[in-house]
Structure 1
Amino acid sequence: MTRYTVEELAAKVGMSPRNVRAHQTRNLLGPPIRRGRTAYYDDGHVRRLEAIKALQRQGYNLVAIEAILGVRAPFASGEALQSLLQHLGREQPALVHALTGHGVLVHGEDGSMQMAPRLLRSVVGLHRAGVHPVPSLHILSEALDRLRGVAAELVRSTATSTSASRDPDGAADALVHLLTEAFRVALENVEA
């Protein structure tokens, strides 16, 4: 069995060690095997990272890849979610189409629909607060429609600041995180 350190694995699949760790944090990649203080990855990790890269080349973002690969929120009730999504598919196909276009919903090979785990947690949180999931999904779709252009412009205008980075992939990930946190702060400072 071949074993790789994180640096060796990253070099083998053509990505940075930081991205390997980021995929692990998102539960897209399983944990390494520890031998003392050293972590080792194997050929299963190589295949998984190659699958992630192939999906990215096809245009899928990481949220969609999480759904495709079955990374789910631990509290999500699969049957309840599938029932809701099947109902939405029949009763509100335009909403399902819009959320699919944003990469929030993905159709599985078996015909089922899956939702990005982070957004699912938000919908479940609103449901616990007494907001039915369908209005939550409408809010989500409308927000994504409005934010798409703003997000694209922010990425364009700030990407030049990170283009000379030693680690372009790491800089891109950090930029997305920075913009996400900036939006969160802006929302927290809005008076309702």
Structure 2
Amino acid sequence: MTASLSPVGDRAGSAPVPERYTIDGLARAVGMSPRNIRAHQARGLLAPPTRVGRTAYYTPAHVRRLESIKLLQRQGFNLVAIEAMLGVRRPTVTPAEPLTAALARLAAEHPSLVYTLARHGVLERDGNGAIRVARARVVQPALELRHAGVPVPAALALLAEVLDKLRVVAEELVRSTGTRMLSLRRTGPTATSWEQLDQETTALTRSLIGLLSEAFRVVAENSGEAAIAEFVAAPVALDLQIEDELTVDNG
């Protein structure tokens, strides 16, 4: 029977062999189901195992890779974003530049862009001075643009541009909506302690942020699909028109 984990140098006098896991042993080692492991492998996030006969074996490198994926998922990244961060290679698509490499290059070539994203709290520097993502939820949509052919640096530049524009609008909306929200409150006993005041302030702040965020999401969803369809269709229609005109002229 094959063990799930083969130690280095099983037999005395034999040459050391690499540590290896069966799919079940790997699943136990990383706390993940074999089904999820196979799914990561199918997406290209995990390298295929080595086969000996009819048995597939995984190595400690697979363990480290899966632990990295789990860590990124705990930080809020979805699998599409993780693919971009780890530089997953697909046979029919030009390999994507890993996010870590893209951020390092971005810091060297476009420091003002990194500064802008850091000012918005999207990027930050770790203890070693390396650039890392601080707000995964904001970065994920930008990373997903790579499936539409937009490189990571260009997508981050677009994100910075949007954040700068929205900041001006948001500051005005926060003031006007916050004032209006306070005026609509029912009259009643005011806070009698600093703790109650903090709780009331926190509740109002969360309500304001939630209201503005979801309202913007609704407006963007309502107008976004139609707008993108129009933008994409316009150059195609122009090309078809030119082709028709050339066909008529040649006829």
TM-score normalised by the chain length of structure 2: 0.44
Q: Do 2:122 and 2:139's aligned partners in 1 also have CA atoms closer than 8 Å?
A: no
Distance in 2, Cα, partners of 1:78 & 1:72:
15
Which amino acid counterpart does residue 160 of structure 1 have in structure 2? Answer: T
TM alignment of 1:29-44, pairs within 5 A: none
Tell me the distance in 2 between the aligned counterparts of 1:89 and 1:144: 18
Task: Report deviation, 1:168.
Answer: 2.5
Q: Is the 8 A contact 2:77 2:140 kept in 1?
A: yes
Name the counterpart of 1:98: 116
Query: Could you list the per-position Cα deviations for residues 68-110 of structure 1 after superposition, in whole angstroms to 9, with x for gaps in the alignment?
Result: xx93415333682221100101111121111111111111112
Alignment partner, residue 148 of structure 2: 129
Q: How does 1:105-184 map to 2 (within 5 A)?
A: 105-115=123-133, 116-163=135-182, 167-184=200-217
Cα separation, 1, equivalents of 2:107 and 2:76: 20
Equivalent positions of 1:18-29 (< 5 A) are: none
From 220, 226, 236, give the equivalent of 1:187.
220
Max Rg structure: 2
Give the residue type in structure 2 aligned to 1:187.
A
Q: What is the number of residues matched between the two proteins?
A: 123
Question: Is the alpha carbon distance of 1:147 and 1:74 closer, same or farther for their aligned partners in structure 2, counting shifts above 3 Å?
Answer: closer
User: For the Cα contact (< 8 Å) 1:162–1:172, is it kept in 2?
Assistant: no
- Please say if residues 143 and 152 of structure 2, whose CA atoms lie closer than 8 Å, have aligned partners that are also in contact: yes
Alignment-derived partner of residue 16 in structure 2: none
Question: Residue type of the partner of 1:173?
Answer: R
Counterpart residue type for residue 171 of structure 2: A
TM-score by length of 1: 0.57
Q: Is the 8 A contact 1:105 1:113 kept in 2?
A: yes
Whole-angstrom CA distance in 2 between matches of 1:97 and 1:159: 29
CA-CA distance at 1:124 after TM superposition: 2.1
Determine which structure has greater relative contact order: mean sequence separation of CA pairs < 8 Å that are 6+ residues apart, divided by chain length: 1
Other-structure match for 1:89 = 107
Q: Percent identity?
A: 37
Structure 2: give runs of 5+ residues left out of the alignment. Answer: 1-73, 88-97, 187-198, 228-251
Contact 2:77 2:137 in 1 (8 A): yes
How far did 1:151 drift?
A: 0.2
Measured in 2, the distance between the counterparts of 1:152 and 1:106 equals 23
Q: Which runs of 5+ in 1 are unaligned?
A: 1-69
Q: Which SS does the other structure have where 2:104 is aligned?
A: helix
Secondary structure class of the residue paired with 1:167: helix
- Give the Cα–Cα distance (whole angstroms) in 1 for the partners of residues 126 and 112 of structure 2: 19
